Amino acid sequence: MPLPIENVDTDQIIPARFLKAVERKGFGDNLFRDWRYTSGNTPNPDFVMNKPEYSGTILVGGKNFGSGSSREHAAWAIYDGGFKVVVSSFFADIFKGNALNNGLLPVQVSPEFLEEIFSTIEKDPKSTFTVDLENQTITNDVTGNGFEFEINQYKKECLLNGYDDIDYLVAMKEEIEEFEIHPSTP
């Protein structure tokens, strides 16, 4: 799904007025709400998600994707909207962390490779791309070109094995208590 817009901010991914739920469900329906729907609440035919020729589980955005608020709802909305991977040439920090904590893989590629992805999709919306987390690669199946992306090794293992930071921290309780007894002075 190509979204060749830069600085896609969290208010576009999910506007604040849809953050009122107290459970984590239904956020996918409001993903890109104000771009996806007209002010009359009908689908905007010009928005890429409403064009039948585009589909897939990889969202491709312009540079500085996810800037703005810390709302994890942005990552939830993209994930609930059916995406497993977001590709951009640059991600905002908090968004990247939130995505990783929710099984949504942010893949940072070079500006050139991002351009190649966009132009491949423009030529044929049915083009496919393969993301291999184990080997940290994204491949353009049309051109055969690939890009090796970076990911923190700890986070990679969490994603591959379904580990969770909270389990890790709760298991550290004694070390944390010990730290509280003997804090360091900055």
Cα–Cα distance between 147 and 140 in angstroms, integer?
A: 9
CB of 133 to other proteins, least distance (A): 15
Alpha carbon 101 to chain centroid, angstroms: 10
Which helix or strand (DSSP H or E) is residue 130 part of? strand 129-132
Question: Radius of gyration of the chain from Cα atoms?
Answer: 18
Structure tokens at 9: 């901010």
Select 42 or 52, whichever has its Cβ closest to other proteins: 42
Select 23 or 52, whichever has its Cβ closest to other proteins: 23
CB of 175 to other proteins, least distance (A): 6
Cα–Cα distance between 184 and 186 in angstroms, integer?
A: 6
Select 17 or 126, whichever has its Cβ closest to other proteins: 17
Residue with tokens 């039948």: 52
Q: 94 — phi, psi (to 5°)?
A: -65, -40
CB of 48 to other proteins, least distance (A): 14
CB of 145 to other proteins, least distance (A): 19
Q: In what order do the strands lie in the sheet with 105-108?
A: 2-3, 58-61, 85-88, 105-108
Cα–Cα distance between 100 and 31 in angstroms, integer?
A: 18
Select 25 or 53, whichever has its Cβ closest to other proteins: 25
CB of 166 to other proteins, least distance (A): 6
Q: Residue numbers of the site for other proteins (CB under 8 A)?
A: 4-7, 9, 11-12, 15-17, 19-24, 34, 39, 62-64, 67-73, 75, 90-94, 97-98, 101-102, 115, 152-155, 165-166, 168-170, 172-173, 175-176, 179-180, 183-186
Select 55 or 179, whichever has its Cβ closest to other proteins: 179
